[in-house]
Each structure stands twice: as C-alpha cells, then as structure tokens.
Amino acid sequence: MGFDELGLSEQLLSSVADAGYSKPTPIQQQAIPAVFMGGDILGCAQTGTGKTASFTLPMIDILSAGRAKARMPRSLILCPTRELAAQVSDNFETYGKNNALSMALLIGGVTMTSQLQALDKGVDVLIATPGRLLDHFERGKILLNDVKILVIDEADRMLDMGFIPDVDRIVSLLPKNRQTLFFSATLDNSIRKIAKRFLANPKEISVAPPSSVADTVVQKLIHTEQKNKRQMLREFLANEEVSNAVIFCNRKRDIGILYRSLLKHGFNAAELHGDLPQSSRTSTLNKFKSGDIQLLIASDVAARGLDIADLSHVVNFDVPSNAEDYVHRIGRTGRAGKKGNAFTFVTSEDQKYIEAITALIKKPIETLKDYNKQNTPQAIIDKKGRTSLRRAKTRNAKSDVAEKSPSPENNRFGERVPPPVPTNEPTIGMGDHVPAFLLRR
C-alpha cells in the first residue's frame, strides 16, 4: 500500500515524499483512514512505529479547512514530556510545511511570553504537557471549547508520571463533541479504564505487542559489581564500536556522578534529566542528535518517545526496576530496521529485575562472558592526573591491581591485618580516592 491510497492531499504527499518515506508503516495504514472517518481511536503502538505521523498527517488535512480564533486552539495534543512534545511539534513542521497551519508548543521550563504571543494569534494545533496547559488555562489565557480533535499521546507514560488527574481536568474543559485519538505503548487494564473515560466507540488499532523488542537489537548482560561499574563502562566504551550511546541511570544523582566521571576521563558526554532547565535539555538533545555529543547519560525522561536516528548503543548502567522501562530504553536503538545494541550492567542485587524483564520480553538475555578477560584497555593516569585508556599488550591480560597476590601485613599497632580488597577502580583524584585503610577487611 502506498501513501497515495490513504486519502492524503497532494501537499501532504509531497511533504511525505520529501521526508523520504516510501510507504506507510502498519500503524499509518490503519490509523490514517480511521482518523479521516472522524471516529475515536484507541491505538496501541510504541514509538518507532511511525505513530506520530499516523495522527499528524490526517490532522493537517482536516485542520487545513477552517481558521483558528485567538486563544481558542482547534486541536490539542497532550504529551507526557517536554521532549516528546517538542518532537511532535517537529513532526508537524516537517509534514505541514506545504500547509499554512499555525502551531504552538506549551511546555514547562520555557518562558510564557512567546507561548502567549502564539496563542493570541490563534493556533490550529496546540501541543502541550498537561501542567503547563493548565497553568495557562488557570491564568485565563486560553479557552479550550473550540478543540475538535484531542490526541493523548503515550498515555501509559502519563499514568506512570501521575498526570492522569490533570488530563481528566483538561478533558472536562473540552467540548463533548470532538474526536479523540488515544495512544499508548501498553494497553493493560488500568490504561483501558482510563481510555474508556475519554473515548466513545473507539476503533482499536494495535501494531506491536507491548513487550516486543525489535529483532535488530542485540541484547547482552554484563555482570559486574556496583563499585566497578564506572571502570567497566570505560572498558566497554573502549572495546565496543560505540558511535553514540544513551547510557541510562536510575537516579538523577548517579547521572551527575557518572557524567562528571566520564568527562574527567576525557569522554565526550552530556547529561539529560528532568531537573535540568529546559533550554539546556533542548540544546543537549540537539547536540546529541547532530553528533556533537557522543554519550548521553540520561534518566527515563529520555527513554520514551525520543527519536534519535542511528543510535548505535543503549547502555543500562543500572537495570531498570520496571521491566517495561527496559523495553522503552532499548527501543532507542535498532530503529527503523537498523542494527542496534543494548548492554545492561547487572549486579547480584538486580537478579529479580532481570527475571521480570526476561519474562516480559519472553526470551533470555545472553551474558557477555568474560568481559574482563578480553583485551581490555587499562586506565592510565599521567602526571597531571589525566586518564587515558591503553590496551593491555596480550589478550587475557589482567590488570596490575588484580594480579598482585594479596599478602597480610601489620597495621600500625603491630597487628596482622588482611590485605586491601583489590579494586579495578583507578585512583582518579582526591574526590574519588578511597583511603586504603577503609578497604581493609
């Protein structure tokens, strides 16, 4: 089936051709005609399936007839994160370049002034995160009773992030007579219950089972200990052909620690999490997408919805405690049929999470065996304290630290004490140096 069989206008067919798409994806084949029919949709689709175009393309054609009034948007797209909202707005710009539609993006973390100016002119498409939209509404800056099409994107994420009460309130402000398109990566009972409140007789479209991982993603586990993870990551980065990677941590605090450590070791890295100002999040993402930044240390904010072309690796520096987050994280690589790699660092405490993940994806994940015994580079610290990575001369060479045979020694009271516990972590600086006496058992 070609795009020309979906009822799209000539302008849109031309934008789609310019975007380089030769044929519609399965969700587009099913959703585009259904949106044109005017009914509600309950769509189960993950990012990476072409889901955004499946609602933006028909919306552009529908909205092209008619004009917006000041402060009264004609359509509303609710997204859980600012990044996803920005991405949907990029899609509108790409596909709508031959249509004169106006659009506004209402997201937190950026000034309200430009958003208000856009609203004043009247917008056909309003893309918003729930909190910022309600902010504008409560200040009397926006009226929602002219919204004819509502899109709720990544509803499962909205639920996880506690946004459903905000969405409920927003929906209560919309006209009853509207078309609602509801998308979620999963359709479990709680999501279906929510969907029921917002949809009337929806057409259900499902294009990928919720737990599916693209076959093009090679998944591996690397067993390690918490204290060795950073060293292990540096070795991994030097061993693997990593052109670019998103490295996920579970906690924001750990993102900062890992980010600073990688910078100190000369890696081209940046951090991305919800506590950073929106301006720096946007510029970091742009730099990462353009290849100026190689490693992005990120929280799950970056896991969903982000479309990064040609991402060679995803690294789970921490195993996600929610199995579905694993699927979303590794879905950033191996997109659109390309080959991808997903590596997960596992400690003994993570076993139960790995079990939940393998149960969800319904297959075991292979362990990358003897990682330490490969020709791994060693961190070399020069006189100025800078560290570089150098490969050991022979295969299977072990690090100096590991090779020293431990022997007991006397402490300053003349007592025999066990030797320090060997560690692979190099001494990097005062901040990272653990005095030897603390390592003695």
51 is an interface residue for ligand AMP by CB under 6 A:
yes
Size of the site for ligand AMP (CB under 6 A): 13
Q: Which residues contact 174 (CB under 8 A, 6 or more apart)?
A: 76, 144, 145, 147, 150
24 is an interface residue for ligand AMP by CB under 6 A:
yes
Minimum CB–partner distance for residue 282 and ligand AMP (Å): 18
89 is an interface residue for ligand AMP by CB under 6 A:
no
Nearer to ligand AMP, 229 or 304 (CB): 304
48 is an interface residue for ligand AMP by CB under 6 A:
yes
Amino acid at 429: G
Identify the helix (H) or strand (E) that includes residue 112.
helix 112-121
Q: Indicate which single residue of 12, 53, 105, 106 sits in contact with ligand AMP (rule: CB under 6 A).
A: 53
* Distances, alpha carbon 117 to alpha carbons 21, 73, 428, in Å: 34, 13, 51
Pairwise CA distance, residues 207 & 6, whole Å: 17
Nearer to ligand AMP, 171 or 296 (CB): 296
Note the Cα 367 to chain centre separation in Å. 24
Binding range to ligand AMP, per CB under 6 A, among 21-29, 357-365, 370-378, 401-409: 21-29
Nearer to ligand AMP, 50 or 73 (CB): 50
50 is an interface residue for ligand AMP by CB under 6 A:
yes
Nearer to ligand AMP, 54 or 424 (CB): 54
Q: Indicate which single residue of 15, 30, 47, 284 sits in contact with ligand AMP (rule: CB under 6 A).
A: 47
Nearer to ligand AMP, 17 or 100 (CB): 17
58 is an interface residue for ligand AMP by CB under 6 A:
no
CA 392-394-395 angle, 5° bins: 95
* Distances, alpha carbon 322 to alpha carbons 33, 160, 227, 250, 353, in Å: 35, 11, 23, 10, 7
What would the x/- binding string for ligand AMP be over residues 298 to 317, using CB under 6 A? ---------x----------
Q: Indicate which single residue of 8, 12, 15, 25 sits in contact with ligand AMP (rule: CB under 6 A).
A: 25
Nearer to ligand AMP, 1 or 200 (CB): 1
Minimum CB–partner distance for residue 55 and ligand AMP (Å): 9
Beta-sheet pairing, 416-417 with 409-410: antiparallel
Nearer to ligand AMP, 232 or 306 (CB): 306
Pairwise CA distance, residues 241 & 259, whole Å: 20
70 is an interface residue for ligand AMP by CB under 6 A:
no
Pairwise CA distance, residues 396 & 392, whole Å: 8
Structure tokens at 114: 């430009």
Q: Indicate which single residue of 21, 36, 137, 267 sits in contact with ligand AMP (rule: CB under 6 A).
A: 21
- Region of 125 (left: φ > 0; alpha: ψ -120 to 50; beta: rest) is beta
43 is an interface residue for ligand AMP by CB under 6 A:
no
Binding range to ligand AMP, per CB under 6 A, among 41-49, 166-174, 238-246, 426-434: 41-49
Q: Where are the beta strands (DSSP E) in 278-324?
A: 295-298, 313-316
* Helix (H/G/I), strand (E/B), else coil: 387: strand
Identify the helix (H) or strand (E) that includes residue 367.
strand 366-367
Residues of the shown chain interacting with ligand AMP in the complex, contacts defined by CB under 6 A: 21, 24-25, 28, 47-53, 307, 336
